Chains A and B, each alone.
Chain A
Amino acid sequence: MVSIPDPDPAPALSMRGLVKRFGATVAVAGLDLDIPAGSFYGVVGPNGAGKTTTLSMATGLLVPDEGSVLVHGVDVWGRPRGAAASLLGVLPDGLRLFDRLTGAELISYAGMLRGMDREVVAERRDDLLQALDLVGAGSTLVADYSAGMTKKVALACALVHAPRLLVLDEPFEAVDPVSAGAIRGILQRFVEAGGTVVLSSHVMALVERLCDHVAVVAGGRVLAAGTVDEVRGGQDLEERFVGLLGGGLEHAELTWLRPSSG
């Protein structure tokens, strides 16, 4: 998954005025965000902030009500559809996989769907199984995988065609620490080689350690965006995050919650 370093100063991903409504709920309310090429970008926000909705619209999985998305200058929602497909590697959250295939077959499927050559797919499939510690599980059905293994094989599917931009929704959820370390290594080398990574998370420590840029999203808008240092402004990222969201919640105490014998 080596990519030629990108000399293009244009952003890898550019979102302008994105709006998405579900009935009366406004999930994304006019969101603007530029992800510089070659950056390792974290998108953080509380539950229901619109992270998944935003990333789905950015990757061609959900039609925006308004706004535009450019991936390396290619319009994701323009005609013909799918022009940006080869530039993009996507790991969505909460969507199924073709789980009656084995892990190895699923990776091959992702490659073949993109019209890749059979020999290249076979080689990359084996490399990915190796790198993500799935060699033993490669011959079992994805239906029998644990949540973490499913995440890893989906990540492999996002990587197989060596995209220029990776958009990953909660890539570390349910993944064990050893595998998480391996995934971090893969993503860091990808960025060093000139690729761009966008990931969403609500684990601040992880974003702080891994990413060079961060955007704080809440209520379907960007509250702050820039390099990690700019956003946290001398503070801990978590403190800054809580500050941006308007302080801690009033926690109602559950006075009755203590181990009972009955």
Chain B
Amino acid sequence: MVATLLRLRLRLLLHTLRREGWRIVLLVVGLLWALASSPSVLGGMVWLSRQPVEVVHDVLVLVGTVLVLGWAVVPLLVPGLDDSLDIGRFATFGLRARRLVPGLLVAALLGVPTLVTFLGSAAPALAWLGPGRELGVLPAVLALALAPVAGLTCVLASRLSTGLAARVLGSRRSREISAVGGVLVAGFAVPVVVGVAALGLEGALERVPAVAAVLGWTPLGAVWAAPAALADGEVLGALGRVVVAVGTVVLAARAWAVLLDRALVSPPARGGQSRRRRDVVLGREGLGLPAVARPALAVTRRALRYWTADPRYLSALLGSVAAPLIIVVLAGTVIDAPAAVALSIAPLMGGTIGWGRHNDVAFDGTALWMHVVAGVPGWADRAGRTLATLAWSVPVVVGVAVVGSMVAGRVDLLPASLGAGLGVLCGGLAVSAVASGALIYPVPAAGANPYAAQMGAVGASLVAQLVTSVATLALCVPVLVAFGAAMWWEPAMAWVTLGVGVLGGALVLGAGVAQGGRVYDARSVRLLARLSR
């Protein structure tokens, strides 16, 4: 079975490479990047080999924990990275997931990130070859032996997180669950930001040994801590951590098999039936709108329903809200300017939310025919989608700006954070309103795993993402300049930032909707043809 799955994965890989030249470029760039970064990894390990055991332990455990967490979290924030074989395709063969798991894990090795992680996991062996280690080369040998365990921990972490998330978001109760998830993320991120801000960087660094000692016994860090225990001469401690590390992989593989078994017999698209009496599209009232405005209202109400009911929108929502928080937490530990970092959450989040809509039409899939056949004018289509995003993102950005300025202890700069957040949000949405009528690329179909990688058109998606990022940044230069001036030069500029952000943002957004509408009008039928492929 392992050989069969490995051959299948290899064949699929070769076919996609043959069909898409862009993938080869990506593959080569990825490999070059991995090769280019290997001297720094090896150099780091050589440097560590001259450090005392405690330092090496703390560094490796912390970096290793971040690596495992990264494998679990990044695929949730950036949908389209999970390129594992789709388990649903095996449903008709009557196989148990347990027979598939080993093969799927080995097949996962045929990817640059996995390969690099597995090889990189062996690097710590170098750090254990230095002077002052007990038991001679044994710690290094153990580190080498645990490298595959570390790699498997990473791969399984990503499979479990995307599998669970797809399951949760696909259930019909996803709205409640995702609300809880959002609260948990915020509840986790905010104390960390506040804590780091309160302790200061040095204070936080002083806590590192204690944190690393605890992490070294958890599933996240045990695999990195075991050789350290051996280098200290603690054979039992090393054994204990090996048991934790191996047990983690065994349990995670079992958990993944259970998840896959569920996916085999009940695809996520078929959750329990939910009933809804109220017609949210029609609404309680028509708002007294004239006929020309009704299509936009319909699109807004439909899109709002999708924001709460479609796993792909929910994962985009969680990603666009969580990614800035995580970036800020990571930046807060590295950059020693907590106030600036905390104030920047709002514009960052405005950017991820607004820019994140640049492929919105692709999420409709061929259902777009309803808009085409009804002759919905482009401006109404654009305005409807934009208003639905604004309806939830404006309160979120305002809230984040308020909390951010309070954490930073610079309430006087709240107008700046607010203006930058709303301005960047509007700029991103303006670019999205134009781009989603012109540059679309494939996304998972409605009801499919929202995290699955999409075959075809890597080139198109790279071009679309690059063009929209650059355009968003260019549009946001004025408000970002004002924001920077308020933070580092003249606090009174905060009110200018607010003015530029809100008024300029509204103006740019209006122009984006109008221009996007013209682009859509000229191309809607061709968009539909692209979506049908």
Q: Which residues of A approach B to under 8 Å, CB–CB?
A: 59-63, 81-83, 85-86, 88, 90, 92, 94-102, 104-106, 108-110, 112-119, 121-122, 125, 139-141, 143-144, 157
* Known A61-B373, A117-B286; further 13 A-B contacts with Cβ < 8 A: A85-B373, A92-B369, A98-B306, A105-B280, A112-B282, A113-B299, A114-B374, A118-B294, A122-B279, A122-B282, A139-B277, A141-B309, A143-B446
Across the interface, B372 reaches (CB within 8 A) one of A61, A144, A157, namely: A61
Q: Which 7 A-B pairs have the closest CB atoms?
A: A82-B375, A85-B375, A112-B298, A118-B286, A115-B291, A113-B374, A95-B366
B102 beta carbon closer than 8 Å to chain A: no
Output the nearest chain B residue to A161 by Cβ-Cβ distance.
B374
Q: Is the CB of A112 within 8 A of B366?
A: no
CA distance A94 to B367 in the complex (A): 10
For chain B, the bracket of interface size reads 35 or more
* A252 CB → nearest B CB, Å: 26
In the assembled complex, 21 residue pairs joining A and B whose CB atoms fall closer than 8 Å, in A order, are A63-B525, A82-B375, A90-B373, A92-B369, A95-B369, A96-B445, A96-B446, A98-B302, A98-B364, A105-B302, A108-B279, A108-B282, A109-B370, A113-B295, A113-B370, A116-B291, A119-B286, A125-B279, A125-B282, A139-B275, A140-B276
Output the nearest chain A residue to B311 by Cβ-Cβ distance.
A100
* A166 CB → nearest B CB, Å: 12
Q: Is the CB of B525 within 8 A of A112?
A: no
Output the nearest chain B residue to A57 by Cβ-Cβ distance.
B525
Which interface residue of A82, A98, A105, A117 has the most chain B CB atoms within 10 A?
A98
Q: What residues on A are CB-neighbors of B377 within 8 Å?
A: 82
B365 beta carbon closer than 8 Å to chain A: yes
Known: A109-B281, A110-B370. A116 touches B275 (CB 8 A): no
The count of A-to-B residue pairs whose CB atoms sit within 8 angstroms is 134
CA distance A99 to B275 in the complex (A): 14
Q: Is the CB of A108 within 8 A of B281?
A: yes
- Chain B contact residues, majority secondary structure: helix
CA distance A17 to B265 in the complex (A): 50
Across the interface, A115 reaches (CB within 8 A) one of B172, B285, B295, B366, namely: B295
Q: Quick check: which of B50-58, B197-205, B266-274, B486-494 contacts chain A, the rest being far away? A: B266-274
CA distance A122 to B374 in the complex (A): 18
Q: Is the CB of B285 within 8 A of A112?
A: no
Contact with A along B326-365 (1 / 0, CB 8 A): 0000000000000000000000000000000000000011
CA distance A59 to B273 in the complex (A): 34
B:381-412 near A, CB below 8 Å? none
Output the nearest chain A residue to B365 by Cβ-Cβ distance.
A96
CA distance A90 to B472 in the complex (A): 38
Known: A82-B377, A139-B277. A105 touches B305 (CB 8 A): yes
Q: What residues on A are CB-neighbors of B210 within 8 Å?
A: none
Q: Is the CB of B365 within 8 A of A113?
A: no
CA distance A98 to B366 in the complex (A): 9
Known: A139-B277, A143-B447. A96 touches B373 (CB 8 A): no
Q: Is the CB of A81 within 8 A of B280?
A: no
Q: Is the CB of B279 within 8 A of A105?
A: yes
Q: Is the CB of A112 within 8 A of B297?
A: yes
Q: What residues on B are CB-neighbors of A88 within 8 Å?
A: 373
* B367 CB → nearest A CB, Å: 4
CA distance A237 to B172 in the complex (A): 48
Q: What residues on B are CB-neighbors of A114 within 8 Å?
A: 295, 374-375
B292 beta carbon closer than 8 Å to chain A: yes
CA distance A99 to B273 in the complex (A): 13
Across the interface, B294 reaches (CB within 8 A) one of A112, A125, A143, namely: A112
* B167 CB → nearest A CB, Å: 16
Q: Is the CB of B270 within 8 A of A144?
A: yes
